[in-house]
C-alpha cells in the first residue's frame, strides 16, 4: 500500500513569508508526528496527533509554528513569518496509534524548506 507522502518535496521561500507543509499518512493510522531535521542532526520532535487532536505540541519552537489535522487524516504544518533558522527538512511520520511508546513510526520522504 501507499506510504506516507509529503508535499512539496522542496520549498524555497523568503524570510518573513508564510508556508504550509502537507502530510498524507498511511490510511488507517490514527497517530501522526511532525519532526524537524537540521543538517547533521537527528529528527527533532515537534508535535504529535492522536486523531484530530494534538496530544503533545511541546516540541513546537514558538508560536510561529502551528499544525492541524482537522479530519484525523491529512495534516498541515504551518509556519508564519519564516526565518532563516527555520531552514531544515521537515519530516512526517504516522503509526497505527495502538501504543504511543512502542508503535513503529513510518516516515515520509520529508519536505526540504529553505528560507532565503
Burial 31-68 (b: 16+ CB within 10 A, else e): bbbbbbeeeeeebeebbbbbeeebeebeebeeeebebe
Applying CB under 8 A, among 3, 16, 53, 85 the residue interacting with another protein is 3
Q: How far is the CB of 66 from another protein (least distance, A)?
A: 18
Does 107 engage in binding with another protein (CB under 8 A)?
yes
Applying CB under 8 A, among 13, 20, 30, 56 the residue interacting with another protein is 56
Helix (H) or strand (E) holding 49: strand 44-50
Q: List contacts with another protein (CB under 8 A).
A: 3-4, 33, 35, 40-45, 48, 55-56, 58-59, 91, 93, 100-102, 104-110
Amino acid at each position: 500500500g501507499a506510504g506516507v507522502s509529503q508535499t512539496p518535496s522542496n520549498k524555497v521561500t523568503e524570510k518573513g513569508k508564510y508556508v504550509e507543509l502537507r502530510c498524507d499518512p498511511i490510511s488507517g493510522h490514527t497517530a501522526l508526528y511532525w519532526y524537524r531535521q537540521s543538517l547533521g542532526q537527528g529528527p527533532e520532535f515537534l508535535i504529535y496527533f492522536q486523531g484530530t487532536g494534538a496530544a503533545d505540541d511541546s516540541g513546537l519552537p514558538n508560536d510561529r509554528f502551528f499544525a492541524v489535522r482537522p479530519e484525523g487524516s491529512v495534516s498541515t504544518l504551518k509556519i508564519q513569518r519564516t526565518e532563516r533558522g527555520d531552514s531544515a527538512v521537515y519530516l512526517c511520520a504516522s503509526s497505527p496509534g495502538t501504543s504511543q511508546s512502542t508503535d513503529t513510526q513510518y516516515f515520509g520522504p520529508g519536505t526540504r524548506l529553505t528560507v532565503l
